[in-house]
C-alpha cells in the first residue's frame, strides 16, 4: 500500500517537473510546478512529517506560486522565445547529472545496508508540530531570530525599491 | 509541555545584537523627516558603540552561544573580522554623506541597510553552523541587493541590482544544495560535526557527498568573492551601484566571504585537502591573471577597480593553500589593508561625484593633481598601495602573503602572483599619470566649490592608515595573528 | 464472517464522507434558495414561492435548468484551463470539511449485514482528525485562489482577468489576517488539532467567543473577504466587471462556481461555530439523556452553522460594497495590526 502511494507521488512529481521544463507556456509551467509541490507534500506526509507537508502546501502552493501566477498574468507573458540558451542546455543536463551523482551514491549505500547518519530528534512524535516548536525554541533559537531580522530587511528592501519618487506627502 | 530551555549566552552574540539594534534604531529615526541630516551621524555613533562592544570582548575567547548547539561562537577571529567590517562601514558612511545628499538617496533606510549588512557579515564571521552562516549571508546579500538598486531613477543602478540579485540568488541556491549534501553526509549542519565526519572513516558515498557539498559551497562563496569563473558580474555591478555602495560591496562583502572561507577550509575541510588544494590553486591563478590582464584595458575607473578587486581576491586565495596560521593571518592582514585601500579609491570617486557629474573615467581625473592636490595625493597613495609599492601597507600585505606562501612550499604560486602584481603596476600607475601629467581638456563640474569635509576626513584617515601600517606593520600583524590563534 | 477492523475503518470513513458530501450539497442547494427568500424578506418582496410547497423545490428546478443550458466556451479561451478552473475551486472548498468535527464519539453496536458480522466500533463524527488541522484548513483556502485566478485568466476577457487578479490579491491579503486571528486560539489550546480545540471549549463560558472576542471579529471579516462575499465582492462586482471571473462561464461550469462559493460559505460558518462557539459542545449537555446527547450536540452544531449562514446573507443584502483601495487598506492597515495585537494580548494574558 505504502509503496503504491510512494510510486504515485514520485511519478507525479517527476513527470510534472519534467513537463514543467519542457512546457513553453508560463502559466502551465506554474501549474505544473504546483503539482510538483503538492506531490512532494504527499511524500512528506508519507514520512510522517505532517507539519512540513502542510507548510509546503501553504507556503509554496498557497503563497509563492500565487505570486508567480499573479505576475505572469499581470505581465501577460506568452510563450517563451526559444533558441537563446543553445549551448547552456546540454551543459545544464550535464551539471544536473553531476549533482545527482552524490545523492544517488548515498541512496545506493543505504540500500546496501550502510550506516545511517543520525537525524535531529527522530523517534516518538517525529514530525509533529510540538516537536518542531520545541526544536525551534531550543536548538534553533538563534537561526529563528536571525530569520526574523532577515524578513524585516526584506520588507524594508521591498518598500524602498518600489516606492515612487523620494517622498510622498499625504494622500 | 515542559521543555528544558537551553542555557544561552547572549553575551556571545552581543556585537551582532548591538548591530541589529543599531540598524533598527536608525531605521525608525529615519522615518522622521526632521532628523534627516542627523541620520549619518547617528549611524556613525551607533557603529562606534558596536565597535566598542566588540573591542571589549576581544580575548575573552571562545564562548559558544548555547549549550545545546553552538550556532555562533564569540572568538577573537570573529571579533576582529567584525571590527574590520565596522571600520569599513564607518568609512562608507563618511564618504556616503555628500554623495547621498547630491543624489537625494540620503534616507534612513540607506544607512539602516548598511548597518544591517554589517550585522550579516558579522553573523557570517561568528558562525559555527551552516545554518547561521547561510542566514548571515542572506542578511548581507538582501541588504546589498537593495543598496545597489537604491538610485531608483538611475538605469545603471537598477541594472546592477538586478544582475547581482539574479546571480546572487543563484549562488545562494548552490550554497544551499551544497549544505544539503554536507548534511546528508554528516547528519548535522554544525562545522564541528562535519569536521568529525571528515576525520572518521568514510565510505565512498559519504566521500562523494562531502566532495559535492564542498564543491557547491565553493561555487557559492566564489561568486561572493568574485573568483574566476564566477566573476562576470563584478564590473557591471560596481559600475552601476552608487559609488559608496560599490566601495562597501568590494570590501565588506568580499571580506566576509573570505572570513568564512578561512573558517571552513581551515577548520572543517582539512581532511579533503588533497582535493581542494589543486582546485583552488588553479582558480586562484586564473583569478589573478584575468583580473590583472583585463584591468589593463579599462578606461572606466569603477570597472578598473572592479577588475583590480578580482585580482586581489586571487591573491588572497593563495595562502589558503599554505594551510598554516601564518597563511590565515596574512589573509586577515591583507583583508584589513585591502579594506582601507579600496574604500580610499572608491571614496575619491564618490567625493568627486558628489559635485555635479559623476566621476567615472580616466579623463575625468586629468589635471586633478593641480586642481585638488590633497585628493590627488590620497588617490596616489591608494594606487601605490594597491600596486604594492613600499612604503605603503599594500606592500607589507603582499610581503606577508607571499612569504607565508613560500614557507608553505608553494614557491611557484608566489612567483606567478608576483609576476602579475608587476603587470598591475601599469594600470595603477596610469591613474597617477593621468592625475598629475595630463591637463584637463575642459574644466569639469566638480572644480568649483569645496568638497565634503566628512568625505575628506575619511579619505585622509585611510591614506594615513595605509602609510602608517606600511611603516609600522607589526601591531596590525599581531592583531591578525591573535585572531587566527583562536581557530581550531 | 467477521469483518477485518482495517476494512471496517475504511468503510466507516467512506460512509462518513458520503453522508457529509450529501449534507453539504443539500445545504448548498437550499442555501441558494434561502438567499433568495431572505433577500426578498429584507427587500420586502416575496421571493420564489411557486415551485413546490413554499417554493421548496426551487433549487431542483435551478439545477435542472443549469444542466440543460448550452455549455459555451469562448473561441479565444485556453480550453484546458477553462475546463478545470471550476474544479480547482470546488475541490479545496469541499476538502475543508474533512477536518471539521460535527460531533463527539459515537458507538456503533455490533450487527450482522448480508452475513457479515460487524463488531462494535467507536468512531468520531469527523472524517480525519489531523494533527495539523488548522494549518490544513489554511492550506486549502490558500489553494482556492487558483480556481478564481485561472478561471479569470483562461477566458481571455479583460473583465474576467481583472476579476481574477483582484481576487488573488484580495485573498492573499486576507489570508494573513485569517491565519493570524486564529493564533490566539492556538496559543490557548496548545494544539492545531480540531478535536482539541473543540475539547478546550467544553463548558459554555470557555467558548472562545468569550475569551477571544477580537479574534472572532477579525476572523469573520477576513472570512467574508476570503469568500468574496459582499461587502468584499469586488471580484465579481456587476457594475464594474460585468460578472467578474465567471463572466464567460455558463451551464454546469457556472453552477460549479456557485456551488463552490456556497460550499466555502458553509465551511466558513462551520469553522466559526467550531473555533469560537464551542463546536459541537452545547450548554446543558449533562441534562440531556445519554441516548440523545449526540443528537443534541450535532443539532446544536448545525444550528450554529445555520445561524452564521444566515448572517452571511443578512450582511450581503444590508451593506454596500467597498472600494478597492479601501479593501486593501482595511486588510493591511487595520485587520493585520489588530490580529497581531490580539496575539500580543493573548500572550500577556497567558503569562499573567
Q: What is the pLDDT of residues C11-53, one digit of tens each?
A: 888 888 998 899 888 888 888 888 888 888 888 888 888 887 8
List all residues of chain C from 181 to 210 with a beta carbon under 8 Å from chain A.
191-192
Last residue in a domain, options A56, A79, A102? A79
Which residues make Cβ contacts (< 8 Å) with residue B35, sequence separation at least 6? B29, B42
Q: For A79, left (φ over 0), alpha (ψ -120 to 50), or beta?
A: beta
Q: Rounded to a whole number, what is the distance in Å from the CA of A155 to chain B's nearest CA? A: 10
CB B250 within 8 A of CB B309: yes
Of A106, A142, A152, the CB nearest to B71: A142
**CA proximity to B247, closest of B116, B102, B144, B363:** B144
Longest dimension (CA), chain C: 66
Residue C260 has pLDDT above 80, yes or no: yes
CA distance B207 to B295: 39
Which chain C positions have a beta carbon within 8 Å of A57's beta carbon? 139, 142-143
CA distance B134 to B136: 5
In a domain, A22, yes or no: yes
List all residues of chain B from 79 to 118 with a beta carbon under 8 Å from chain A.
104, 107, 109, 112-113, 116
**CA proximity to B374, closest of B437, B446, B463:** B463
In a domain, B2, yes or no: no
Rg (CA), chain A: 21
Q: What 3-state DSSP class applies to C202?
A: coil
Judged by a CB distance cut-off of 8 A, whether residue B131 touches chain A is: yes
First vs last Cα of chain A: how many Å apart? 61
CA distance C312 to B227: 62
| B443-447: Cβ within 8 A, 24+ apart | B444/B356, B444/B357, B444/B359, B444/B364, B445/B355, B445/B356, B445/B357, B446/B352, B446/B353, B446/B355, B446/B356, B446/B357, B446/B359, B447/B371
In a domain, B137, yes or no: yes
In a domain, A115, yes or no: no
CA distance A134 to A145: 15
pLDDT of amino acid B257: 93
Of C132, C145, C168, the CB nearest to A50: C132
Nearest-CA residue of chain A relative to B28? A156
pLDDT of amino acid B324: 79
When divided into structural domains, chain A yields a total of 2
Torsion angle (degrees, nearest 10) of CA A87, A88, A93, A98: 110
Cell of C10: 475504511
A75 and A140 assigned to the same domain: no
CA distance C235 to C169: 10
Q: What is the pLDDT of residues B439-461, one digit of tens each?
A: 877 666 666 667 788 888 889 98
Cell of C263: 460550499
Burial call B84-113: b when 16+ CB within 10 Å, e when fewer: bbbbbbbbbbbbbbbbbebbebbbbbbbbb
CB B329 within 8 A of CB B477: yes
pLDDT of amino acid C34: 86
**CA proximity to B364, closest of B306, B432, B434:** B434
Cell of C33: 434558495
CB C39 within 8 A of CB C47: yes
Torsion angle (degrees, nearest 10) of CA C2, C4, C10, C13: 50
Longest dimension (CA), chain B: 78
From the candidates A29, A62, A63, which should be mutated to test the interface with C, based on the most C CB atoms within 10 A? A62
List all residues of chain B from 381 to 420 with a beta carbon under 8 Å from chain A.
none
C105 strand-pairing partners: C124
Preceding amide of B363 cis, omega within 30: no
Preceding amide of C189 cis, omega within 30: no
- Domain range for A152: 128-165
CB B360 within 8 A of CB B446: no
- Residue B73 DSSP class: E
Of C132, C161, C175, the CB nearest to A54: C132
Q: Rounded to an integer, what is the distance from CA B283 to the centroid of its chain?
A: 19
Q: What is the CATH number of the domain that holds A49?
A: 1.20.120.1200
Q: What 3-state DSSP class applies to B64?
A: strand
Judged by a CB distance cut-off of 8 A, whether residue C95 touches chain A is: no
Nearest-CA residue of chain A relative to B140? A150
Q: Rounded to an integer, what is the distance from CA B421 to the centroid of its chain?
A: 20
- Domain range for B219: 10-485
Q: How confident is the model at residue A82 (pLDDT cuts 50, 70, 90)?
A: low
Cell of C333: 492597515
pLDDT of amino acid B51: 94
Element (H, E) at C177: helix C158-189
Of A103, A150, A156, the CB nearest to B138: A150
- The whole-chain average pLDDT of chain B stands at 88
Which chain C positions have a beta carbon within 8 Å of A68's beta carbon? none
**CA proximity to B484, closest of B257, B374, B332, B264:** B332
Contacting subunits of B (3+ beta carbon pairs below 8 A): A
Query: ipTM score of the complex?
Result: 0.89
CA distance B231 to B311: 10
In a domain, A84, yes or no: no
CA distance B80 to B483: 6
CA distance B233 to B167: 8
CA distance C73 to C83: 9
Residue B310 has pLDDT above 90, yes or no: yes
A132 and A74 assigned to the same domain: no
- pLDDT higher at B125 or B366: B125
Measured CA to CA in angstroms, residue A35 lies from A25, A30, A59, A100, B55 at distances of 16, 9, 14, 22, 53
Q: How confident is the model at residue C67 (pLDDT cuts 50, 70, 90)?
A: confident
CA distance A25 to A46: 32
Q: What is the pLDDT of residues B190-223, one digit of tens each?
A: 888 888 888 877 777 788 888 888 999 999 999 9
Which chain A positions have a beta carbon within 8 Å of C139's beta carbon? 54, 57-58, 61-62
Place of cell 560535526: B193
CA distance B409 to B321: 9
Average pLDDT score over residue span B239-253? 90
Q: How confident is the model at residue B380 (pLDDT cuts 50, 70, 90)?
A: very high
Cell of C307: 445561524
Which chain A positions have a beta carbon within 8 Å of B161's beta carbon? 161
Of C139, C165, C192, the CB nearest to A74: C165
Which chain B positions have a beta carbon within 8 Å of A101's beta carbon? 208, 212
In a domain, B4, yes or no: no
A73 and A132 assigned to the same domain: no
Cell of A42: 504527499
CB B384 within 8 A of CB B428: yes
From the candidates A48, A129, A155, which should be mutated to test the interface with C, based on the most C CB atoms within 10 A? A129
CA distance B215 to B212: 5
- pLDDT higher at C256 or C237: C256
Rg (CA), chain B: 22
Measured CA to CA in angstroms, residue C287 lies from A5, B246, C282, C293 at distances of 47, 77, 11, 9
Cα angle vertex C326, ends C264, C331, to 5°?
50
Q: What is the pLDDT of residues B155-181, one digit of tens each?
A: 888 899 999 999 999 999 999 999 998
In a domain, A86, yes or no: no
pLDDT of amino acid C286: 76
CA distance B350 to C340: 43
Which residues make Cβ contacts (< 8 Å) with residue B151, sequence separation at least 6? B103, B105, B157, B242
Of B68, B136, B208, the CB nearest to A146: B136
| CB–CB contact C139 A57 (8 Å) | yes
Judged by a CB distance cut-off of 8 A, whether residue C168 touches chain A is: yes
CB C144 within 8 A of CB C164: no
In a domain, A70, yes or no: yes
Amino acid at each position: 500500500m505504502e509503496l503504491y502511494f510512494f510510486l504515485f507521488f514520485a511519478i507525479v512529481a517527476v513527470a510534472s517537473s519534467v513537463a514543467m521544463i519542457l512546457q513553453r507556456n508560463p502559466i502551465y509551467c506554474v501549474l505544473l510546478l504546483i503539482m510538483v509541490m503538492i506531490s512532494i507534500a504527499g511524500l512528506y506526509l508519507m514520512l510522517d512529517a505532517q507539519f512540513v507537508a502542510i507548510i509546503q502546501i501553504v507556503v509554496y502552493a498557497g503563497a509563492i506560486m500565487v505570486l508567480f501566477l499573479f505576475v505572469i498574468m499581470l505581465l501577460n507573458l506568452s510563450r517563451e522565445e526559444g533558441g537563446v540558451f543553445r549551448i547552456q542546455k546540454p551543459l545544464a543536463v550535464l551539471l544536473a547529472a553531476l549533482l545527482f551523482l552524490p545523492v544517488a551514491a548515498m541512496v545506493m549505500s543505504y540500500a546496501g545496508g550502510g550506516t545511517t547518519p543520525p537525524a535531529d530528534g527522530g523517534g516518538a512524535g517525529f514530525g509533529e508540530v510540538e516537536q518542531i516548536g520545541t526544536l525551534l525554541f531550543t536548538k534553533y533559537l538563534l537561526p529563528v531570530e536571525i530569520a526574523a531580522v532577515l524578513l524585516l530587511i526584506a520588507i524594508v528592501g521591498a518598500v524602498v525599491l518600489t516606492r515612487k519618487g523620494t517622498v510622498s506627502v499625504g494622500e | 509541555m515542559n521543555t528544558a530551555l537551553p542555557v544561552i549566552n547572549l553575551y556571545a552574540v552581543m556585537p551582532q545584537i548591538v548591530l541589529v539594534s543599531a540598524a533598527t534604531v536608525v531605521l525608525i529615526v529615519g522615518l522622521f523627516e526632521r532628523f534627516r541630516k542627523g541620520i549619518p551621524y547617528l549611524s556613525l555613533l551607533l557603529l562606534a558603540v558596536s565597535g566598542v562592544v566588540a573591542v571589549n570582548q576581544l580575548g575573552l575567547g571562545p564562548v559558544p552561544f548555547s549549550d545545546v548547539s553552538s550556532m555562533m561562537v564569540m572568538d577573537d577571529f570573529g571579533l576582529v573580522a567584525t571590527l574590520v567590517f565596522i571600520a569599513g562601514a564607518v568609512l562608507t558612511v563618511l564618504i556616503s554623506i555628500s554623495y547621498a545628499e547630491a543624489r537625494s538617496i540620503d534616507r534612513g533606510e540607506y544607512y539602516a541597510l548598511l548597518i544591517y549588512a554589517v550585522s550579516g557579515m558579522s553573523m557570517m564571521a561568528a558562525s559555527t553552523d551552516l545554518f547561521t552562516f547561510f542566514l548571515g549571508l542572506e542578511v548581507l546579500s538582501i541588504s546589498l541587493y537593495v543598496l545597489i538598486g537604491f538610485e531608483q531613477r538611475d538605469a545603471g543602478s537598477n541594472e546592477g541590482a538586478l544582475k547581482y540579485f539574479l546571480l546572487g540568488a543563484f549562488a545562494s541556491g548552490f550554497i544551499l544544495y551544497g549544505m544539503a549534501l554536507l548534511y546528508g553526509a554528516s547528519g548535522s549542519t554544525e562545522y564541528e560535526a562535519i569536521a568529525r565526519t571528515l576525520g572518521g572513516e568514510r565510505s565512498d558515498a559519504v566521500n562523494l557527498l562531502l566532495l559535492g557539498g564542498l564543491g557547491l559551497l565553493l561555487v557559492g562563496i566564489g561568486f561572493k568573492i568574485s573568483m574566476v569563473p564566477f566573476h562576470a558580474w563584478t564590473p557591471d555591478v560596481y559600475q552601476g551601484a552608487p559609488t559608496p555602495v560599490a566601495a562597501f560591496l568590494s570590501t565588506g562583502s568580499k571580506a566576509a566571504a573570505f572570513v568564512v572561507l578561512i573558517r571552513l577550509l581551515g577548520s572543517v575541510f582539512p581532511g579533503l585537502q588533497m582535493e581542494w588544494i589543486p582546485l583552488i590553486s588553479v582558480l586562484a591563478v586564473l583569478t589573478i591573471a584575468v583580473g590583472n590582464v583585463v584591468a589593463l584595458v579599462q578606461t572606466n575607473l569603477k570597472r578598473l577597480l572592479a577588475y583590480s578587486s578580482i585580482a586581489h581576491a586571487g591573491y588572497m586565495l593563495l595562502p589558503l593553500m599554505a594551510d598554516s596560521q601564518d597563511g590565515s593571518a596574512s589573509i586577515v592582514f591583507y583583508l584589513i589593508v585591502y579594506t582601507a585601500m579600496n574604500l580610499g579609491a572608491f571614496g575619491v570617486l564618490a567625493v568627486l561625484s558628489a559635485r555635479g557629474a559623476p566621476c567615472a573615467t580616466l579623463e575625468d581625473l586629468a589635471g586633478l593633481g593641480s586642481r585638488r592636490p590633497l585628493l590627488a595625493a590620497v588617490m596616489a597613495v591608494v594606487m601605490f598601495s594597491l600596486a604594492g609599492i613600499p612604503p605603503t601597507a599594500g606592500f607589507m600585505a603582499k610581503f606577508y602573503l607571499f612569504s607565508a606562501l613560500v614557507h608553505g612550499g608553494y614557491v611557484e604560486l608566489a612567483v606567478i602572483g608576483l609576476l602579475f602584481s608587476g603587470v598591475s603596476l601599469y594600470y595603477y600607475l596610469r591613474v597617477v599619470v593621468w592625475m598629475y601629467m595630463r591637463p584637463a581638456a575642459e574644466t569639469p563640474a566638480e572644480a568649483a566649490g569645496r568638497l565634503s569635509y566628512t568625505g575628506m576626513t575619511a579619505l585622509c584617515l585611510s591614506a594615513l592608515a595605509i602609510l602608517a601600517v606600511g611603516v609600522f606593520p607589526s601591531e596590525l600583524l599581531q592583531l591578525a595573528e591573535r585572531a587566527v590563534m583562536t581557530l581550531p | 464472517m467477521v469483518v477485518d477492523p482495517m476494512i471496517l475503518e475504511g468503510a466507516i470513513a467512506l460512509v462518513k464522507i458520503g453522508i457529509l458530501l450529501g449534507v453539504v450539497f443539500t445545504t448548498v442547494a437550499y442555501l441558494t434558495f434561502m438567499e433568495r427568500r431572505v433577500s426578498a424578506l429584507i427587500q420586502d418582496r416575496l421571493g420564489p414561492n411557486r415551485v413546490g410547497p413554499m417554493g421548496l423545490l426551487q433549487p431542483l428546478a435551478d439545477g435542472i435548468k443549469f444542466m440543460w443550458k448550452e455549455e459555451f466556451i469562448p473561441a479565444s479561451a485556453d480550453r484546458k484551463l477553462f475546463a478545470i478552473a471550476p474544479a480547482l475551486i470546488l475541490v479545496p472548498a469541499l476538502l475543508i470539511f474533512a477536518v471539521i468535527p460535527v460531533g463527539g464519539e459515537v458507538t456503533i453496536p455490533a450487527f450482522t449485514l448480508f452475513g457479515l458480522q460487524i463488531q462494535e466500533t467507536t468512531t468520531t463524527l469527523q472524517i480525519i482528525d489531523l494533527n495539523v488541522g488548522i494549518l490544513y484548513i489554511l492550506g486549502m483556502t490558500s489553494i482556492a485562489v487558483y480556481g478564481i485566478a485561472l478561471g479569470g485568466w483562461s477566458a481571455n476577457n479583460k473583465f474576467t482577468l481583472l476579476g481574477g487578479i483582484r481576487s488573488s490579491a484580495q485573498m492573499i491579503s486576507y489570508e494573513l489576517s485569517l491565519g493570524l486571528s486564529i493564533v490566539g486560539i492556538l496559543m490557548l489550546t496548545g494544539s492545531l488539532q480540531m478535536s482539541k480545540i473543540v475539547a478546550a471549549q467544553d463548558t459554555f463560558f470557555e467558548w472562545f467567543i468569550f475569551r477571544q472576542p477580537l479574534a472572532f471579529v477579525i476572523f469573520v471579516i477576513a472570512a467574508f473577504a476570503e469568500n468574496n462575499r459582499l461587502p468584499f465582492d469586488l471580484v465579481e462586482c456587476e457594475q464594474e466587471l460585468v460578472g467578474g471571473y465567471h463572466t464567460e462561464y455558463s451551464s454546469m461550469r457556472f453552477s460549479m462556481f456557485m456551488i463552490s462559493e456556497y460550499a466555502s460559505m458553509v465551511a466558513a460558518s462551520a469553522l466559526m461555530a467550531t473555533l469560537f462557539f464551542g463546536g459541537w459542545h452545547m450548554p446543558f449537555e449533562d441534562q440531556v439523556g445519554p441516548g440523545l446527547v449526540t443528537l443534541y450536540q450535532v443539532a446544536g452544531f448545525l444550528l450554529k452553522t445555520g445561524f452564521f449562514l444566515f448572517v452571511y446573507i443578512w450582511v450581503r443584502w444590508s451593506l454596500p460594497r467597498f472600494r478597492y483601495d479601501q479593501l486593501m487598506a482595511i486588510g493591511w492597515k487595520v485587520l493585520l495590526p489588530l490580529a497581531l495585537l490580539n496575539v500580543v494580548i493573548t500572550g500577556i494574558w497567558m503569562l499573567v
